[in-house]
Amino acid sequence: MREPFLNRMDKRVLVADGAMGTMVYSRGIPFSRCFDELNLSMPQLVKEIHLGYAKAGAEVLETNTFGANRPRLNKYGFASQLREINLAGVRLAREIAGDELYVAGSVGPLGIRLEPLGPTSREEGRAVFREQIEALAEGGVDLIVLETMTDLEETHQAILAAREVTKLPVVAQMTIQEDGNTLGGTPPEDFTRQLDQWGADIIGLNCCLGPAGILDALERMAKATSKRLSAQPNAGMPRTVEGRSIYLCSPDYMAEYARLFLEHGVRLVGGCCGTTPEHIRAIKKAVRSFSPQSGKIRVEAPENSAPPAEPVSPEKRSRLGAKLARAEFPILVEMTSPKGCDAAREIEGSQYLRDQQIDAVSIPSRSAGTARMSGQALAVLVQQRTGLEVVLHYSCRGRSVPTIQSDLLGAHALGLANIVATAGDPAEFQGYTETSVDFDVDSIGVVNIMNHLNQGLDAGGNPMGTQTSFLIGVRVNPAALDLDQEIRRFEFKVEAGANFALAEPVFETDQLVRFLKRISVAGAPPVPILAGISPLTSYRNAEFLNNEVPGISVPGAILQRMRKADTGDKARAEGLKIAQEILLEVRGLVQGVHISAPFGRYAMAVDVAQALGISSSSRSAK
């Protein structure tokens, strides 16, 4: 009968296995396959890999279930077989482990973002972890290994899920960058203390880095906890040779570092990507004679972390923020980035809008396949060359959290203060049919990131030493088909830190009124709302918006008016008249407007605004 895992660890160092994925790939299985499903379709292959590690001296065999949670399996169409895949993973490892070796239930990240950076709540994330861990525990694992975790809060939910399901030991292994911090920026000392506080039995590192980088972080972790530590580094950093990833760390090199790991409290040692049975055999030989030292490990008192900085008040963040605070009813005009690298027309248009006392230009994000100048570049050019303020829309589509943080910090350094967080539109397939549309976080997550930066914190909640002062905007759609969902997301955005909202263009004031009534508290919306006004240019334009643009509804009466006007100057005049009528109708309902400039016709947008009078004093709220 096996001795309890933690008891065995207190007596001697245990050696875990190496990389399941590396060995599967080496047998000709492409990464496009679901490796976890191989437990059902190719069980003999999985058993052979376990056997290779067992013969090499591994005492802990991890199940082939790293990605066997519902969101990840769903991408391959195997979500309905979640329980069977996990149970099979345990059975295959146990058939090789027998009664002498330990079987660890491998649990990886969910592959989705939790709040506050994503749309999935902490409770929902914990439920997903619980479902997988429950199956692993039912199958009879000896311990749970949470590995390659990048998000500290996600790891917290995984630990909570494990404690709800089982009393088995829990190993919590983070993955880090070269500076020792997690992808969210949390340093080793801080995430170690957190994992200790949350009840992880063993705290460790795996993946991403080779032995040298792992050792540097372990030295810092050992000073922050008295818990047992674990280490499963990659076999160095991969190099691509003829399309294949090759890891170059020799078994002897890995073994030498394994001995160094033990000097810093590591009691479970193995390998991750690139690690083969040959590496494990060398590690086993190197640590065989090592016995855990008696006595308590000295834990240094945590350093006092700097509290979040007090954010700059919204009215001091930008001219737009000040105008909204003074209820001056700001008018924004939309400006699209040019194709190519020449922004002369846009600069000229900005000068014209400035002279016409427009308050700011609004530059939307564009994900079309055509080669356009970035919105951020245009925004900087407009502000620097004309002095007109810019509201930049920032899309999170296809961007990672580190990229988003870098972009936003750069935008702040360049003087861009007004940022609207958006999800971005789907790419238009103009020769770029494989354009990524993945999200690391959604627009709510971007709002949270900006709110953190405004408090001098990175996305992981770690002090940066400096802070931004963004006026944070969001998009809302009063005409959304699922208005309940739209309002819930709007409320989340406000809770995350939004300061104002741009509403999608409305052609029926009643839709806007219903929306405002739903979101208002004590008779007023929680943040200023700027209504969208889109001048129609032709009957065909009106039909297109009504039938092909999600969230836009053009009522029959307006369609009939545009049908009579048809095309040309007469149609544009009618579209302008309709836009002016809508503007006057919404004037007493919202705190500002943003007006589209069809096909770059900035004069048409100015003509719409003329319905109010251009000067700020004439636009102030009564």
Q: Which of 468-477, 521-530, 606-615 has the lowest mean pLDDT?
A: 606-615
Which of 271, 287, 303 marks a domain boundary?
287
What element of type H or E holds 420? strand 418-422
Distance from C-alpha of 372 to C-alpha of 374, rounded to nearest angstrom: 6
In the beta sheet, which residues pair with residue 343?
Answer: none
With 90 as the cut, is the pLDDT of residue 613 above it? no
User: Does some domain include residue 305?
Assistant: no
Predicted confidence at residue 618, as pLDDT, reads: 52
Tell me how far the alpha carbon of residue 139 is from its chain's centroid.
Answer: 33
Mean local confidence (pLDDT), 277-285: 94
Which of 246, 263, 287 marks a domain boundary?
287
515 lies in the same domain as 393: yes
567 lies in the same domain as 459: yes
With 60 as the cut, is the pLDDT of residue 487 above it? yes
pLDDT band at 300 (very low <50, low <70, confident <90, very high): low
Tokens representing 190 are: 């801080």
Tokens representing 76 are: 């391959």
327 lies in the same domain as 271: no
Query: Burial letters for 193-230: b for 16+ Cβ neighbours within 10 Å, e otherwise?
Result: bbbbebebbbbbbbbbbbbebbbebbbbbbbbbebbbb
User: Does some domain include residue 58?
Assistant: yes
Of the candidates 314, 355, 209, the residue with the CA atom closest to the CA atom of residue 271: 209
User: Does some domain include residue 340?
Assistant: yes
Predicted confidence at residue 246, as pLDDT, reads: 55
Tokens representing 305 are: 């972390």
Return the percentage of the chain with pLDDT > 70, whole number: 91
* CATH code of the domain in which 23 resides: 3.20.20.330
354 lies in the same domain as 404: yes
With 60 as the cut, is the pLDDT of residue 277 above it? yes
pLDDT digit string (tens) for 201-235?
A: 999 999 888 899 999 999 999 999 999 999 999 98
Q: Residue 438: phi, psi to the nearest 5?
A: -75, 155
pLDDT band at 433 (very low <50, low <70, confident <90, very high): very low
459 lies in the same domain as 527: yes
What domain range is 344 assigned to? 320-619
User: Does some domain include residue 306?
Assistant: no
* CATH code of the domain in which 602 resides: 3.20.20.220
48 lies in the same domain as 170: yes
DSSP per-residue codes, 480-533: -SSHHHHHHHHHHHHHHT--EEEEEE-S-HHHHHHHHHHH-BTTB-SS-EEEEE
Give the residue ranges of DSSP H helices in 148-266.
152-165, 188-197, 211-221, 251-262
Query: Burial letters for 449-474: b for 16+ Cβ neighbours within 10 Å, e otherwise?
Result: bbbbbbbbbbbbbbbbeebbbbbbbb
190 lies in the same domain as 49: yes
Tokens representing 180 are: 């020792």
442 lies in the same domain as 559: yes
**Domains held by the chain: number:** 2
Return the percentage of the chain with pLDDT > 90, whole number: 69
Contact indicator for 44, 18 with CB cutoff of 8 Å: no
Tell me how far the alpha carbon of residue 237 is from its chain's centroid.
Answer: 25
459 lies in the same domain as 594: yes
pLDDT band at 92 (very low <50, low <70, confident <90, very high): very high
Contact indicator for 362, 398 with CB cutoff of 8 Å: no
The number of C-alpha atoms within 13 Å of 361 and in the hemisphere containing its C-beta is: 31
Which of 242, 269, 287 marks a domain boundary?
287
The number of C-alpha atoms within 13 Å of 267 and in the hemisphere containing its C-beta is: 23
What order of strands is seen across the sheet that includes strand 170-174? 14-15, 266-269, 228-232, 202-206, 170-174, 143-149, 102-107, 60-62
232 lies in the same domain as 353: no
User: Does some domain include residue 311?
Assistant: no
Q: How far apart are the first and last CA of the chain?
A: 82
Tokens representing 575 are: 């579209």
User: Does some domain include residue 223?
Assistant: yes
455 lies in the same domain as 530: yes
Q: Can you give the pTM of this predicted structure?
A: 0.74
DSSP structural state of residue 14: E
User: Does some domain include residue 300?
Assistant: no
In the beta sheet, which residues pair with residue 418?
Answer: 391, 471
Distance from C-alpha of 283 to C-alpha of 255, rounded to nearest angstrom: 4
pLDDT digit string (tens) for 120-142?
A: 889 999 999 999 999 999 999 99
279 lies in the same domain as 326: no
Distance from C-alpha of 1 to C-alpha of 479, rounded to nearest angstrom: 65
User: Does some domain include residue 25?
Assistant: yes
Predicted confidence at residue 248, as pLDDT, reads: 61
Q: Residue 501: phi, psi to the nearest 5?
A: -135, 140
